[in-house]
Amino acid sequence: MSIEENFSWDYLKNVADALDSYRIRALIDAKQDILDAGIYDESQYETILIKMLDEEKLKYSLLNFLKQNSESNLKSLELFSEMNSIELNKTLSFLELLKNENLVSSEELYDKIEGYENNPEQLIFKDFLIKPNKTQTSQLKPIYEPVKIIFETKNCSGCGLCAGICPVNCLQIYNGFGKIDEDKCIRCGLCYFVCPRTYLPVRVLNMTQESTSEIKEYQNVGFFLEAYSARTKIKEISEICQDGGVSSTCLHYLLENNAVDVAIGAKMSNTLWRPEPILLKSKEEIFSTAGTKYVNNPNLQILNQSELHNKKIAVVGVPCQIQALLKSTIYDIGFPSLNNVEYRIGIFCMESFSYESLLKICEKLKVDIKNAKKMDINKGKFFVYTNSGEELNIPIKEISHLGREDCEMCFDLTSESADISIGSIGSPSGWNTVLIRTMKGKELYEKLISNNLIESKPLEEVKPGLPLLQRIAGSKKNNSKKHINTRLEENKRVPNY
Ligand code: SF4
Ligand code: SF4
Ligand code: SF4
């Protein structure tokens, strides 16, 4: 057989495997249901289908490549990336998929560096050991897995992305929990595929952030290019913002300068302190989103609106939402509104509560929630500031049992998957800590400075600065590990990070 014939045979085999994938089959079989749901027209449907077919084809191409040897390693993955002209992180994301679909086993090998004095022992990544599963692919075909298992096992973070991408609009997230209309569901499994709580390739996400093909170790706050302390110079924002107002200033700049057409964020609903997702198009609407909200809100659900198909979008969200967005760029399903997300503006998040739990916290503080003007978590306490000028607080330890169970498994304090991450920890009162993570985030921040919209200092010049942020982020990571281990001991499902 000639090389061309061999290539052609492999190519056809990969196409056949891809066409046989349940995700592709469901999309083909349910074409009319998808068109009837009215989110996508026929041409968008075809673009999505072809994109997904291409991605599945590459995934199976990697599988067939790995099957040529009993064992493969990082060098093999680099060779595959070169042969297919793709970035190593793309190949790694396919490897994660193959692993999650039980088609290969892959182990990470580390060198151990002994600890000394106050420095703990360190593990440094060395290589991969990859073995294809010996069973025939046809016997191992991944099957449809319903995302409702994520709701039912209290793994769901309520980010809203599954509802935002459901092609027949049969999934809703409300009050942090999901509900599927089983009669309408076409069993495409895309909700499970995009969910950050099914599997999340943290190493690949970090590599994607850094735009490099090198495998490195990461600190507690993830990769970042530069760190600052900043506050807005826009008077209308500084009058209403909780800390430095930098996230509202980013949106203000992006919308005023047509860098995006619309932003997705959260505003207070008619029920005070129960937020709801909002599409922001004007300065006035940005002002309606000011202030930290401690009740979980499915911002990404709003991505299902067809008006977003041809709009440039900025998303402001908490770490689990931003992780979901970055995951959807590395496992590209070709959905227009997802591909239109131009900026990921991440907010720091320690934990969130259900609305009912927030009512209980107010009850403990003997304050009517309608009288709460501002809420804040600071120095280990939950603060409520009232309209009548009172400052009430309760130690976090006394209310931590009221936090959402899924938040206990969350490892990310600082929105490590964002273009730019903004929070209050590390900066003095009235200022924001800003971590710039991508070139896009850096360009945006530089525009805020050159347009005289913010006051900015290097984070190393302020107290408590990065050391405090690193410490609190590290403690969130350790707590997440502990909770995950406890759940594993209890035979409960956990996210695959
Ligand atoms: S609920 Fe999930 S499996 Fe069902 S149609 Fe929507 S995305 Fe597909
Ligand atoms: S974590 Fe997000 S994507 Fe996953 S089930 Fe919950 S709302 Fe859906
Ligand atoms: S703690 Fe994590 S899971 Fe919970 S709302 Fe914040 S980012 Fe999401």
Reported confidence tier of residue 214, pLDDT bands at 50, 70, 90: low
Reported confidence tier of residue 2, pLDDT bands at 50, 70, 90: very low
Q: Does ligand 1 have an atom closer than 6 angstroms to the CB of 453? A: no
**Which has the minimum average pLDDT: 47-61, 320-334, 370-384?**
370-384
**Over 70: is that where the pLDDT of 297 sits?**
yes
Contact status, residue 320 vs residue 410, Cβ threshold 8 Å: yes
Top pLDDT among 206 and 483 is at 483
What is the number of other CB atoms lying within 10 angstroms of the CB of residue 290?
A: 18
Cα–Cα dist 346/438, whole Å = 12
- Nearest ligand to the C-alpha of residue 318? 3
Say what percent of the chain tops pLDDT 70: 94
Cα–Cα dist 462/92, whole Å = 38
Name the residue with the closest Cα to ligand 1, atom 7. 166
Cα–Cα dist 243/230, whole Å = 10
Contact status, residue 413 vs residue 435, Cβ threshold 8 Å: no
Q: Does ligand 3 have an atom closer than 6 angstroms to the CB of 410? A: yes
Nearest atom, ligand 2, residue 158 CA: 7
Rounded to 5 degrees, what angle do the CA atoms 28, 197, 345 make? 95
**Which has the minimum average pLDDT: 209-213, 376-380, 409-413, 433-437?**
209-213
What are the pLDDT digits (tens) for 464-496? 999 999 999 999 999 999 999 999 999 999 998
Give me ligand 3 centre to Cα 226, in Å: 24
**Over 60: is that where the pLDDT of 124 sits?**
yes
Give 491's contacts (C-beta < 8 A, 6+ positions apart).
none
Q: What is this structure's pTM? A: 0.91
Q: Does ligand 3 have an atom closer than 6 angstroms to the CB of 319? A: yes
**Over 50: is that where the pLDDT of 1 sits?**
no
Cα–Cα dist 267/289, whole Å = 5
Name the residue with the closest Cα to ligand 1, atom 6. 166
Cα–Cα dist 203/222, whole Å = 10
pLDDT computed for residue 219 by the predictor? 73
Contact status, residue 323 vs residue 200, Cβ threshold 8 Å: yes
What are the pLDDT digits (tens) for 397-429? 899 889 888 999 999 999 999 999 999 999 999
Cα–Cα dist 37/406, whole Å = 31
Per DSSP, 279 falls in state: E
pLDDT computed for residue 377 by the predictor? 82
Nearest atom, ligand 3, residue 410 CA: 2
Per DSSP, 120 falls in state: P
Cα–Cα dist 305/292, whole Å = 25
Top pLDDT among 22 and 200 is at 200
Reported confidence tier of residue 122, pLDDT bands at 50, 70, 90: confident
Across residues 380-407, what is the average pLDDT? 89
- Nearest ligand to the C-alpha of residue 417? 3
Q: Does ligand 3 have an atom closer than 6 angstroms to the CB of 480? A: no
Alpha helices by DSSP H, listed for 101-234, are 148-152, 161-165, 190-194, 202-210
Name the residue with the closest Cα to ligand 1, atom 2. 191
Name the residue with the closest Cα to ligand 3, atom 3. 407
CA proximity to 358, closest of 312, 284, 292:
292
Residue 39 identity: I
pLDDT computed for residue 181 by the predictor? 95
**Over 70: is that where the pLDDT of 4 sits?**
no
Reported confidence tier of residue 318, pLDDT bands at 50, 70, 90: very high
Radius of gyration, CA atoms only, the chain:
23
Reported confidence tier of residue 435, pLDDT bands at 50, 70, 90: very high
Cα–Cα dist 121/116, whole Å = 8
pLDDT computed for residue 311 by the predictor? 95
pLDDT computed for residue 163 by the predictor? 95
Q: What's the whole-number average pLDDT of the chain?
A: 89
Across residues 361-376, what is the average pLDDT? 90
Residue 288 identity: S
CA proximity to 371, closest of 392, 352, 351:
392
Cα–Cα dist 472/83, whole Å = 43
pLDDT computed for residue 375 by the predictor? 87
CA proximity to 341, closest of 248, 254, 232, 239:
254
What are the pLDDT digits (tens) for 237-270? 988 888 899 999 999 999 999 999 999 988 888 7
What is the number of other CB atoms lying within 10 angstroms of the CB of residue 219?
A: 12
pLDDT computed for residue 65 by the predictor? 95
The structural domains of the chain, with segments of one domain joined by +, span 1-107, 226-354+403-489
- Name residues contacting ligand 2 (CB within 6 A): 147, 150, 156-162, 173, 178, 195-197, 298, 324
